[in-house]
Amino acid sequence: MRLAELSERSGVSTATIKYYLREGLLPPGRRVNATTAEYDEEHLRRLRLVRALIQVGGIPVAKAREVLSHVDDESLGRTIRLGAALWALPQDPEPDEEDPDVVAARAEVDRLLESLGWETSREMASLSPVHRSLVVAVATLRRLGYPWDAELMEPYARQMHQVASRQLDFMETYDTLKEQVEVAVASAVLFEPVLSALHRLAQEEESARRYGIE
């Protein structure tokens, strides 16, 4: 397809597509002549991912480029490639390790992972920005007077493991590894708000069942 058709099918203006091409967010099309290039379904799929990252996720262009470089890195195995792409997404800053709430939160998170038997998460704890985000969240809860410990978090973690399994099942319906990693990255940006909204709807429903609507 030509640039105009790519724009029409994606809903992205030609000027924006050209900007994404210049910034290396979108691979160049197949050159037809000096002024014309052809684009395919892979370009359309990538364009949708770029829009998800930048327009929905609010991720800066430079950070989006970093995420996409991991998506495209065929030298990495599936797990590392997926992890590198997800870790490149914006994360929480490093917590203050001298903060007593951070120390206590880290101990509870470590105890949780041990109880769950999540060995990979334990081994990668010092590197994982996701682990850091959980520590920061638990520390904040403690600071505000809501001391969530490993026992309280465990049933939630087990349910989220089921959610993660379903997400990977969906990811595996795509043919290529690149497509699968793209779907995982898009899900991290687009699907988490769905989970949050479903959680709130479930709270509303359960509250009404328990206490009625007054």
pLDDT tens per residue across span 57-100: 888 898 888 888 888 888 888 888 888 887 777 777 788 888 99
Residue 32 lies in a domain: yes
Per-residue pLDDT tens digits for 32-51: 777 788 988 889 988 988 98
Distance CA 198, CA 202 (A): 6
**Are residues 142 and 201 located together in one domain of the fold?**
yes
Per-residue pLDDT tens digits for 151-175: 999 999 999 999 999 988 998 999 8
Residue 90 lies in a domain: no
Which one, of 162, 170, 115, 109, lies nearest residue 135 by Cα? 109
Distance CA 153, CA 112 (A): 7
- The pLDDT assigned to 88 comes to 78
HEC readout, the chain: CCHHHHHHHHCCCHHHHHHHHHCCCCCCCEECCCCCEECCHHHHHHHHHHHHHHHHCCCCHHHHHHHHHHHCCCCCCHHHHHHHHHHCCCCCCCCCCCCHHHHHHHHHHHHHHHHHCCHHHHHCCCCCHHHHHHHHHHHHHHHCCCCCCHHHHHHHHHHHHHHHHHHHHHHCCCCCHHHHHHHHHHHHHHHHHHHHHHHHHHHHHHHHHHHCCC
What average pLDDT does the segment 171-189 reach? Answer: 87
**Are residues 60 and 128 located together in one domain of the fold?**
no
Position 1 pLDDT exceeds 80: yes
Strand 37-38 to 30-31 pairing: antiparallel
**Are residues 130 and 43 located together in one domain of the fold?**
no
Angle, alpha carbons 139-143-145 (nearest 5°): 115
Residue 129 lies in a domain: yes
Residue 39 lies in a domain: yes
- The pLDDT assigned to 197 comes to 92
What's the gap between Cα 149 and its chain centre?
A: 25
Place of tokens 């359309």: 44
- The pLDDT assigned to 85 comes to 81
What average pLDDT does the segment 163-188 reach? Answer: 88
**Are residues 9 and 69 located together in one domain of the fold?**
yes
Residue 66 is part of a domain; what is its CATH number? 1.10.1660.10
Residue 95 lies in a domain: no
Per-residue pLDDT tens digits for 95-120: 888 899 999 999 999 999 999 999 98
**Are residues 67 and 141 located together in one domain of the fold?**
no
Residue 31 lies in a domain: yes
Position 53 pLDDT exceeds 90: no
Per-residue pLDDT tens digits for 124-138: 888 888 899 999 999
**Are residues 70 and 104 located together in one domain of the fold?**
no
**Are residues 70 and 157 located together in one domain of the fold?**
no
End-to-end CA distance of the chain: 57
If one compares 189 and 205, the residue with the highest pLDDT of the two is 205
> What is the number of domains present in the chain?
2
**Are residues 123 and 170 located together in one domain of the fold?**
yes
Distance CA 171, CA 184 (A): 7
**Are residues 48 and 104 located together in one domain of the fold?**
no
Domain range for 29: 3-76
Residue 92 lies in a domain: no
**Are residues 48 and 124 located together in one domain of the fold?**
no
Residue 84 lies in a domain: no
What average pLDDT does the segment 198-203 reach? Answer: 94
